[in-house]
Structure 1
Amino acid sequence: MEPGEMVLYESHSVLHGRPFPMNGRFFANLFVHFEPLGAFRRENHDEFTNDIVYHEDSLISTEEYLPPYVIPDSPWDEQWREQNPDGWYLLNNDMGLSARKGDLRTMDNLYIQDPESIHEVDDNGWGPLHEATRGGQLDVVKYLHEREVDLNLKTGHGRGNTALRLAKQYHGEDSDVYKFLEGVGAES
């Protein structure tokens, strides 16, 4: 390519390019590809949604994971499987980070792929329950409780704080997270 030439790229439904030629001796192209795991425009272009619609069948399949935005048995299902024979997996496979952010959808996908991931701790002995508690993520704390995570597990590989103590430290005894943990019998 020479200075002054124009480059056009075609993607799924859009032609991308620079409407004017590049100047100078050097240039760079950067493409960012992403999966729409947030708000996106529906097919009719008039209807918007705030969250992706997750389809139970795409989440529960243990042999071939479909991404949550591909509807099973839709025209895109077969095409997607042909292009991705190894299935789909999350790039973010950090249960603790997802718990801290309150990202239940990612947590649920990780849990389906590996149910033991909700019990794993990091190098400092912090598990998803500790991260969710510190972040004040009540829905995540409830989610983990429903899946029988040990509410009395201590950080620091048994030498640190329980989730109830973290809730008190970070949010106080009047917080919803503290009240919930205390109400279900968590110890300090």
Structure 2
Amino acid sequence: MPEQMTELHQAAAVGDYDLVEDILKRNKCSPNQKDIDWNNKTPLHWAAAKGQTEIVRILIENGAQPSLTTDNGWTPAHFAAESGKLPVLRYLHSVSAPIDMEDCYGNRPVRIAKIYGHTDCVQFLERAKTECREHRRTVLLKGPPPNDI
């Protein structure tokens, strides 16, 4: 059966922290479930797009993978960049989530932020680019740290 939008997707999108927490505690739904009706968005994609930083945090702490992409290759960082959600981008970067991956058309979140005129996000993503590159190099050489996602 194809996967569809769940109660967790909806709670993440509207910012209902208590409901998200309850669903995750009861293991009622995988935080990585993709919704085929909405381009394979996960609850994390929805929370990032809506600027729900605390929900992004609790989803990641409960196993949501920030590297999962939609059918066009967008990560949660692409959605945060499109909406101008700098606190979400900062949080994603703080947990070494991929904030500079290319989508299916070669666009990185920084380009998406430029298109939508989110100058603060562009500046942050430009500064973070070097750190992202260094993190990937370290992981390739040494392997991920024990708590890496």
Q: TM bucket by the smaller chain?
A: 0.5 to 0.7
Greater strand proportion: 1
Aligned length: 106
Which residue number corresponds to residue 16 of structure 1?
Answer: none
> Within 5 A, what are the aligned runs for 1:146-165?
146-156=94-104, 159-165=105-111
Which residue number corresponds to residue 124 of structure 2?
Answer: 180
Q: Match for 2:26 among 84, 87, 96?
A: 87
Q: Distance in 2 between matches of 1:120 and 1:91?
A: 13
SS in 2 for 1:150: coil
Q: Distance in 1 between matches of 2:49 and 2:21?
A: 25
Query: Which has the higher relative contact order, 1 or 2, with Cα contacts under 8 A spaced 6 or more apart?
Result: 2
Q: Match for 1:168 among 111, 114, 120?
A: 114
Which residue number corresponds to residue 67 of structure 1?
Answer: 22
Structure 2: gaps spanning 5 or more residues: 1-10, 32-41, 133-149
Indicate if the aligned counterparts of 1:96 and 1:127 stay in contact, CA closer than 8 A: yes
The CA RMSD over aligned residues, in Å, is 3.2
Structure 1: gaps spanning 5 or more residues: 1-34, 39-51, 55-64, 69-85
Which contiguous aligned blocks of 4+ residues in structure 1 show a shift greater than 4 angstroms?
88-93
Per the normalisation by structure 2, the TM-score is 0.59
| Structure 1 residue 100 corresponds to structure 2 residue 49 | yes
Compared CA separation, residues 141 and 180, structure 1 to 2 (3 A): same
Q: Tell me by how many angstroms 1:123 deviates.
A: 0.9
Q: Distance in 2 between matches of 1:66 and 1:152?
A: 28
Compared CA separation, residues 103 and 90, structure 1 to 2 (3 A): farther
Percent identical residues: 25
